[in-house]
Structure 1
Amino acid sequence: MKNVIRNGLSLWEFDSLSAQPGIRHFVTDRNTNPEGEPFTLSYSSTPDRELVVNNRRLLASAMLVDERALYLPSQVHKTRIVHVTPSTTKEELQETDALITSHPGVCIAVMSADCVPIVLYDSKNNVIAAVHSGWRGTVARILEKTLNELSDRYGTEGKHVFAGIGPSVSQESYEVGEEVITAVKAAFDSHSELLVHTIHQKAKLDLWNANRHQLLEFGVPEEQIEISNLCTVIHNHAFFSARKGDAGRFAAGIVLANR
């Protein structure tokens, strides 16, 4: 990933997706607010609603879209997927963890503070997706479900998909207990490397590669998958982390350029 300045905002971009001419994309930095305020995108993260309104307005401007065309769902760690159009309402985005659109100028994004944000681009069918995948979403294979939805509706094939796995908690920083260990083993029984067992029946979980495996299984070429390798705990100066006690939420999103 690389740090860039867009319309005065400090943002992050994937190298592979930046090379695709049909899209714009971003991951926000917690310090990008020009007034020095936290650049949080979630209304539930602060009592200062106007701060979030202004942050979203600045982000939309940086992505060259109308602020009404910036869509962020109300996430609940499940697997509901919504196809977004210019007429999609806020109510339609409740309890949703993945967004898909084929409409240019519609910017879709997910919020995070340790969970894995993923952006997808089907370069043949000109369709994009944004996926929020914490441990619950990962073991429920929300990314796989989103890819299958793209396939069913648009004919997406893995060889045409470019994927960015964004900043999130790394295996080094993510120790989990028995409930998560059991769920991961059930979902990824052939990938024992996703869990590094520690003491007291705990283990460190690799969410990055758990999602990478779903992309590979769909047929996405290895060279078209980019993992940020930026841990929200280790790089807490740049990204919000719930494990570090942050209430704020950063966002990762993507928009089809108007042609």
Structure 2
Amino acid sequence: MKPKIYINDHILSGMTMKDPARPEDNNMALHACKNPEEVLENRRALADWAGVPLSRFVLAHQTHSDRFHKVTADDFGRGAERADTAIPDTDALYTFEPDVLIGSFTADCVPVIFRNGKNGLIGVIHSGWQGTIKEITPKLFRHLRDEEGCNPADFHVQLGAALSQEKFEVDRDVCEKFRALGYADDFIDYNEATGKWHIDNQKTVEAQLLQAGIPAGRITIDRTCTLKSPDGFSYREDKKAGRHLSFIVRKNS
């Protein structure tokens, strides 16, 4: 179990990657697997590696929505060992609780992992292209500012590995949805040979973070392409692909 590590200073965060040495190539998703017990074996390995029991994992049933959920002690263990106990119809989680691992599943979509350096809040967002055009990321950060009293300048944000602009090919209808945002034009290229548009979803999410007041120097992007890299699960390449888990936990010690 060797996930990519993004932060390691009382805050442990990272992204599990494809690993042919693991069951189902280290797939972490019960909703997209051949053998649920093998996925649980992978999750247990992550739990051992992170020093957080599965009973303190919290995972969501993601639906490409713009909905988010504040994780409390009542949620501990939800989605960890059974898909039907996951937080329903939710694509972002955040918490002030220590020693609880929250995560987001992706296989091309943009994982957003964040922490607040002043108050201990941590969170994860699943931003596929639908979540991006629904502006799940700026909606959550507005909520954290207005309802949780967070200063946007106190956040550190990591965008995990995702589908690259080169491989994110779309038709006009999706392109127009991005153009309608009013700030994504610089991240759209047209390929005359194919008549398709190519969109950089990571850079669009970065633009949303900047507009939300997150300082540019506190945003990091992992430009690994989940389709081109042998370490990536890609739904675009294989509709039966497994899933990465981007995760974060604030350790008490």
1-structure distance, mates of 2:242, 2:86: 23
Residue 144 of structure 1 pairs with residue 113 of structure 2: no
Query: Which residue of the partner structure matches residue 5 of structure 2?
Result: 13
Gaps of 5+ in 1: 1-8
Is the 2:23–2:39 Cα contact (8 Å) retained in structure 1? no
Q: What is the identity, as a one-letter code, of the residue corresponding to 1:30?
A: K
Instruction: Say which SS state the counterpart of residue 26 (structure 1) adopts.
Output: strand
* Segments ≥4 residues shifted beyond 3 Å: 89-92
CA offset digits 1:194-243 (Å, max 9, x no partner): 110123542100101100011111111111100001110111x1110111
2-structure distance, mates of 1:190, 1:42: 33
| Residue 49 (structure 1) shift | 1.0
CA spacing shift, 1:83–1:50, aligned 2, 3 Å: same
| Residue 136 (structure 1) shift | 0.4
Query: Which residue of the partner structure matches residue 67 of structure 1?
Result: 54
Q: Percent identity?
A: 30
Q: Which stretch of the first structure deviates more once superposed, 245-254 or 111-120?
A: 245-254
Instruction: Say which SS state the counterpart of residue 236 (structure 2) adopts.
Output: helix
Residue 111 of structure 1 pairs with residue 98 of structure 2: no
1-structure distance, mates of 2:28, 2:184: 34
Query: Which residue of the partner structure matches residue 215 of structure 1?
Result: 209
Query: Which residue of the partner structure matches residue 4 of structure 1?
Result: none
Residue 22 of structure 1 pairs with residue 10 of structure 2: yes
2-structure distance, mates of 1:224, 1:139: 23
Superposition CA RMSD, Å:
1.6
TM-score (ref. length: structure 2)? 0.91
Instruction: Say which SS state the counterpart of residue 154 (structure 1) adopts.
Output: coil
Query: Which residue of the partner structure matches residue 5 of structure 1?
Result: none
Match of 2:120 among 107, 122, 126: 126
2-structure distance, mates of 1:191, 1:207: 9
Is the 1:125–1:154 Cα contact (8 Å) retained in structure 2? no
Residue 194 of structure 1 pairs with residue 187 of structure 2: yes
1-structure distance, mates of 2:187, 2:133: 12
Gaps of 5+ in 2: 80-84
Query: Which residue of the partner structure matches residue 6 of structure 1?
Result: none
Query: Which residue of the partner structure matches residue 42 of structure 1?
Result: 29
2-structure distance, mates of 1:72, 1:48: 19
CA spacing shift, 1:216–1:253, aligned 2, 3 Å: same
Instruction: Say which SS state the counterpart of residue 171 (structure 1) adopts.
Output: coil
Residue 242 of structure 1 pairs with residue 246 of structure 2: no
Instruction: Say which SS state the counterpart of residue 83 (structure 1) adopts.
Output: strand
| Residue 191 (structure 1) shift | 3.5
| Residue 32 (structure 1) shift | 6.9
Q: What is the identity, as a one-letter code, of the residue corresponding to 1:12?
A: K
Instruction: Say which SS state the counterpart of residue 132 (structure 1) adopts.
Output: strand
Q: What is the identity, as a one-letter code, of the residue corresponding to 2:140?
A: T
TM-score (ref. length: structure 1)? 0.89
| Residue 153 (structure 1) shift | 3.0
Is the 1:65–1:105 Cα contact (8 Å) retained in structure 2? yes
2-structure distance, mates of 1:100, 1:192: 30
2-structure distance, mates of 1:75, 1:37: 21
